[in-house]
Amino acid sequence: MVDRSEGSLELARECGADDVILADGGEVEGVGERTDGLGAEAGIDFVGEDGALEDSIAMLHEGGTHYVIGYGEVLSVPAIDIISAEINVVGTWSGPITTWPS
């Protein structure tokens, strides 16, 4: 779990998170260190802004999947980074749905 809020990190610990990292600018390196340089299997981004999209993708191991839930900015990742690491980017619709987008 990576978050800017100590309270959210504490809640994650209480809910059973194996590890938590404060998003203070060193989170990509922190995930790398905690995974022996392999990276995360999945990034589930509930924020979608302030660089969280790019950071989440940078935290993935080869073949990892980034799930976009939060929205607010444009994802800007060089195609070669996606191709060479064989990562997946999956969009997910969240929140109450009264009608499906067309």
- pLDDT at 100 exceeding the cut of 70: no
Q: Per the structure, how many domains does the chain have?
A: 1
R_g (Cα) of the chain, nearest Å? 14
> If you average pLDDT over residues 16-34, what whole number do you get?
95
Q: What is the pTM of this model?
A: 0.80
For residue 99, tell me if it sits in a domain: no
Q: How far apart are CA 25 and CA 50, in angstroms?
A: 11
> Which CATH number is 68's domain given?
3.40.50.720
Instruction: Please report whether residue 97 resides in a domain.
Output: no
What are the tens digits of pLDDT across the range 45-67? 888 888 888 899 999 999 999 99
How many Å apart are CA 7 and CA 4, to the nearest integer?
9
Q: Mean pLDDT over residues 86-97, rounded?
A: 80
Inform me whether the pLDDT recorded for 74 exceeds 80: yes
Please check whether residue 102 lies inside any domain of the structure: no
Whether residue 97 is predicted with pLDDT greater than 60 in this model: the reply is no
